[in-house]
Amino acid sequence: MIKYLRSTKFGLIALLLMLTASITAQDLSKLTPDQLEMYKKYTAGKSATTTTQTTPEKEPEALTRTVDPKDSTLIVPKKIIKPDEDKLTVFGMYLFNDEKLTFEPNLNIPTPQNYIIGTLDEIIVDISGQYEANYKLKVSSEGKIRIPNVGPISVSGQTIAAATRSIKNQVSSIFPGINSGTTRLNVSLGNIRSIRVTIVGEAVRPGTYTLPSLATAFNALYACGGPTETGTMRNIKVIRSGKVVATLDAYSLLVDGVKTNNIVLQDEDIIRIDPYKIRAIVTGAIKHEGIFEGLQGETVEKMIQFAGGFSDNAYKGKITVFRYTNRERTVIDVEKTTFNSFTLVSGDSINVGKTMDRFDNLIEIEGSVVRPGSYALVPGLTVKQLISNAGGLKEDAFLTIAFISRKQQNDVPENIGFNLKELLDDKLKDILLQKYDTVKIKSLFDYREEKTVSILGSVLEPGTYPLKESTKIKDLIFLAGGFKETASKDTIELVRIIKDPSILRNTNEKSTVQKFALDKDQNVLNGGDSVTIQNGDQLIIRNISGYEDLRTIRVEGEVNYPGSYNIKNKAELISDVINRAGGFSKYAYKAGAFLIRSERPNEIEQKLNNSIIENSKSQLENDANKTLDANMLKASGATTVQGYTAMDSIQKKLSGSKVVDKIFKTEGIVGLNMEEVMKNPGGKFDLRLEENDVIYIPREQQTVKVLGQVLFPTIIRYDEKMNLREYIRNSGGFAINANRHKVFVLYANGNACSTKSFLGFKIYPKIEPGSRIVVPDKPIEIKNKLTTAETVAILTSISSSIALIYSILISSL
């Protein structure tokens, strides 16, 4: 039963997977829109269950559906292309969207005389002169103000000027000085009322706005955010009591700086923004590319004016207009003469081309003339005249030949050579120049080999210098900065290459050496003053005989005065420096003294090192030998042979220069027998010192270090009764890969002694204080391991061969 349930469960799972795969593999083009929507919800649910909460949800890609007119089946889902950030914008849209711009009404201005007074306006009546009085009066809902002792005065609907006259007529009965002029009356606005203005149509934020009564039409447009991208900016209407009282054109402000018809709004005014009627795109060699709105009857010339005019490189003779027709697009070439008469249609795209980047009268002259460069080609201009226009020839001009680089009618280049001297002397007919010709006049130095001379040795600035005519030995020395203090003026050598073919055929010598000397006045002796330096000569200034720079060594460790010491002569010995250092201190361990010598490998040693590393590589490539020294393998970065069964991987490791440095780096440690050195100065143990040598006298050692392939490498107290095997036993004994036959001892002074064998017996080195017992690795054998199938095949073949041999032997018996 359980087996049946298991099989049924797995069958259901398999069936579900098959159904899912079939749905996934189904062509989406055959799904209805409802099915596609359900499938998208299904896949979205699956992806939501497989993602963690920390994974941000990706925005769904927008799809656009291309629908066949015959049916509503989805054909191909396409990704919507996002608009380019640098796309063209509608000219003037920034006017109402820029937060830095504001069209708020200015309330701190004198009272406009044409301001229409309305309900809730505050009227200030100021009387001064023979009588003093001041009244702040609010206009009532009936449109009247009340002055004490005067009575109500109707002012609503009147301008400030008209209201002033009405108030003056009423107040003059109380203040008779007003008519005689002894009393003055002034009427102004105090706090103004608010008005309600409605904005409809293609506005960014249409609706009803409460504005100050001084607000104009542009103030209202700014409050609503201006027109939308489909709204007009050139035909905005202000409607009052059902009639259009003003039409705004924002382009008059943008282009001309004039706010045309920017009237003061009144309560219950309506501003209507209609959709645009005509728009055109202007691109190309224009100052401001963009989308511009036009009015009925406006021309291409007006659009170019809106775009700021042509750019400097614009081709103004003709522009191209791309226009939509009822079925397709068409191209119209508009000549310059019709710019002001070619009217626009909405959707037109105007493109202004650029002037061609070429010249109609350009010629050039280059090379050895006073003013090389570009010149204008005038009718009848010749080579001789062009040279005169360029200021004439330079002194180094090569007169034998000059060239004209010319383009033929098919733009195929050609070179025309001529004798410049004969042309200038009128022995050759002057050459008439053509458009784009380039006259090339070479210098004498262009046809001369670069000549150099070198100076080596004891001068301030040795090196190679350009050779000038008539240069002498003394000139070259001063050109190099003069002698160094260590220069020998008696052994100046001039090395000259033999260039005479007759001499080269009759001798094996390739150069000559002349020796000269200088006197105290820097004059060259031995006839050297008359010697002229030639191309390729080499002047060698040697140092004074026997001169050497200061050389130093260091003495460190247990001496009385450690530090740096100079080498006084070429025969300076170790004993000499030890004596100069005050001898040994009482803690010195003379048996452990050693010398460190830093020696850079010369060219021959470097070649030897390279040869050794190449031999190691060739061993790996040789099928007969699959062993490699352990040090070589470790230098390549490996600790075991695992992972290095492929020969090419080891060869790649061994190819680096770092491996060579690890193996062949010279330690430069020389063990010293200081007892013999100090006992027999100048003897065979007393070595001559070299620059940068370091003599180290250690402190007395009391330990022995065991290193390498032992179970527990450690440091052990020195005991003169213990031998090498006992020290190794104290370190845990040999490891499994220890090479017991190659154990050696490295003494404190750098000397080494290996294990020897005699008649099968091993003779181990003597152990001294400070010794290091080194147990090396066994040679590592690298083999290409056989697979199980290969091993079985080989064993089968061997068994068959043995059976065949056995049967032959039996039959022969």
288: how many CB neighbours lie within 10 A of its CB? 12
CB 633, CB 650: distance < 8 Å: yes
pLDDT at 368 over 90: yes
Q: d(Cα 58, Cα 365) in Å, to the nearest integer?
A: 65
111: how many CB neighbours lie within 10 A of its CB? 18
Query: For residue 502, which phi and psi values (nearest 5 degrees)?
Result: -65, -35
Provide the token pair at 685: 């143990």
How much of the chain, in percent, has pLDDT values that exceed 90?
A: 26
Q: d(Cα 506, Cα 807) in Å, to the nearest integer?
A: 83
Q: What is the DSSP letter of 352?
A: E
Which of the residue ranges 106-120, 228-242, 289-303 would you say has the lowest mean pLDDT?
A: 106-120
Residue range 249-268: average pLDDT? Answer: 87
pLDDT at 666 over 90: no
pLDDT band at 7 (very low <50, low <70, confident <90, very high): very low
Element (H, E) at 48: helix 33-50
pLDDT band at 66 (very low <50, low <70, confident <90, very high): very low
CB 773, CB 730: distance < 8 Å: no
Describe the crossing of helices 603-621 and 657-664 by its angle, rounded to 10 degrees. Answer: 110
pLDDT band at 207 (very low <50, low <70, confident <90, very high): very high
Q: d(Cα 471, Cα 529) in Å, to the nearest integer?
A: 10
Region of 452 please: left (phi>0), alpha (psi -120 to 50) or beta. Answer: beta
Residue range 442-460: average pLDDT? Answer: 89
Three-state SS at 478: helix
CB 405, CB 380: distance < 8 Å: no
Residue range 347-360: average pLDDT? Answer: 90
Say which residue, 66 or 234, is predicted with more confidence: 234
pLDDT at 119 over 90: no
Residue range 532-544: average pLDDT? Answer: 89
Q: d(Cα 570, Cα 195) in Å, to the nearest integer?
A: 112
What is the structure's pLDDT at 213?
A: 80
CA-nearest of 545, 550, 538, 540 to 486 is: 545
What is the structure's pLDDT at 784?
A: 52
Q: d(Cα 282, Cα 193) in Å, to the nearest integer?
A: 45
Residue range 384-392: average pLDDT? Answer: 93
For residue 777, the one-letter residue type is D
Three-state SS at 127: strand
Buried b (16+ CB within 10 A) or exposed e, 682-719: eeebbbebeeebbbbbbeebeebbbebbbeeeeebebe
pLDDT tens, position by position, 141-192? 787 888 887 778 888 878 888 888 888 887 877 777 777 777 888 888 777 7
Query: For residue 810, which phi and psi values (nearest 5 degrees)?
Result: -65, -45
Three-state SS at 264: strand
Residue range 66-74: average pLDDT? Answer: 33
440: how many CB neighbours lie within 10 A of its CB? 17
Provide the token pair at 733: 């004994």
Q: d(Cα 313, Cα 788) in Å, to the nearest integer?
A: 81
For residue 324, the one-letter residue type is Y
Q: d(Cα 771, Cα 794) in Å, to the nearest integer?
A: 51
Q: d(Cα 442, Cα 404) in Å, to the nearest integer?
A: 12
pLDDT tens, position by position, 590-630? 888 888 887 666 666 667 667 766 666 565 555 444 444 44
pLDDT at 291 over 90: yes
Say which residue, 13 or 241, is predicted with more confidence: 241
Three-state SS at 43: helix
780: how many CB neighbours lie within 10 A of its CB? 19
Please compute, for residue 457, the number of CA atoms within 13 A of its CA located in the half-sphere on the CB side: 22
**Maximum mean pLDDT: which of 186-200, 287-301, 578-592:** 287-301
CB 748, CB 768: distance < 8 Å: yes
What is the structure's pLDDT at 125?
A: 82
**Contact partners, residue 24, CB within 8 Å, separation at least 6:** none
Give the ranges where 107-199 is alpha helix by DSSP (H). 160-171, 177-180
Residue range 374-397: average pLDDT? Answer: 93
Provide the token pair at 359: 């010249």
> Vertex 603, ends 602 and 607: CA angle to 5°?
120
What is the structure's pLDDT at 538?
A: 92
CB 654, CB 663: distance < 8 Å: no
In the structure, how many helices (H) and strands (E) does the chain have? 20, 41
What is the structure's pLDDT at 676?
A: 86
- CA separation, residue 204 to residues 91, 211, 216, 246, 617 (Å): 16, 18, 18, 21, 80
Q: d(Cα 584, Cα 699) in Å, to the nearest integer?
A: 11
Which of the residue ranges 20-34, 301-315, 743-757 would you say has the lowest mean pLDDT?
A: 20-34
pLDDT band at 634 (very low <50, low <70, confident <90, very high): low
CB 155, CB 142: distance < 8 Å: no
pLDDT tens, position by position, 685-717? 888 888 888 988 888 888 888 888 888 898 988
Which of the residue ranges 78-92, 277-291, 469-483, 551-565 would you say has the lowest mean pLDDT?
A: 78-92
Query: For residue 180, which phi and psi values (nearest 5 degrees)?
Result: -85, -15
CA-nearest of 66, 74, 70 to 33 is: 74
Residue range 71-80: average pLDDT? Answer: 32
CB 436, CB 406: distance < 8 Å: yes
For residue 584, list its beta bridge partners. 559
Instruction: Tell me the torsion sign for CA atoms 474, 476, 480, 481.
Output: positive
Q: What is the DSSP letter of 299?
A: B
Task: Tell me the residue length of the chain.
Answer: 813
pLDDT at 133 over 90: no
Q: d(Cα 588, Cα 696) in Å, to the nearest integer?
A: 10
Provide the token pair at 336: 């310059």
Say which residue, 764 or 444, is predicted with more confidence: 444
pLDDT at 14 over 90: no
What is the structure's pLDDT at 375?
A: 94
pLDDT band at 235 (very low <50, low <70, confident <90, very high): very high
Look up tokens 């043995």; give the residue.
802
Three-state SS at 131: coil
Residue range 285-302: average pLDDT? Answer: 92
**Maximum mean pLDDT: which of 47-51, 85-89, 462-466, 656-660:** 462-466
CA-nearest of 482, 477, 458 to 545 is: 458
**Contact partners, residue 808, CB within 8 Å, separation at least 6:** none
For residue 574, list its beta bridge partners. none
Provide the token pair at 606: 């470097």
What is the structure's pLDDT at 222?
A: 86
Please compute, for residue 423, the number of CA atoms within 13 A of its CA located in the half-sphere on the CB side: 21
Provide the token pair at 149: 């002792």
**Averaged pLDDT of the chain:** 78
Residue range 92-97: average pLDDT? Answer: 81
CA-nearest of 388, 386, 404, 408 to 442 is: 404
How much of the chain, in percent, has pLDDT values that exceed 70?
A: 77
What is the structure's pLDDT at 322?
A: 94
Look up tokens 């989805």; give the residue.
74
Q: What is the DSSP letter of 752?
A: E
CA-nearest of 549, 557, 539 to 463 is: 539
CA-nearest of 698, 506, 720, 744 to 595 is: 698
Pairing mode of beta strands 63-67, 74-79: antiparallel
Query: For residue 775, which phi and psi values (nearest 5 degrees)?
Result: -105, 105
For residue 487, the one-letter residue type is A
Chain CA centroid to CA 328, Å:
47
Q: d(Cα 800, Cα 805) in Å, to the nearest integer?
A: 9
pLDDT at 467 over 50: yes
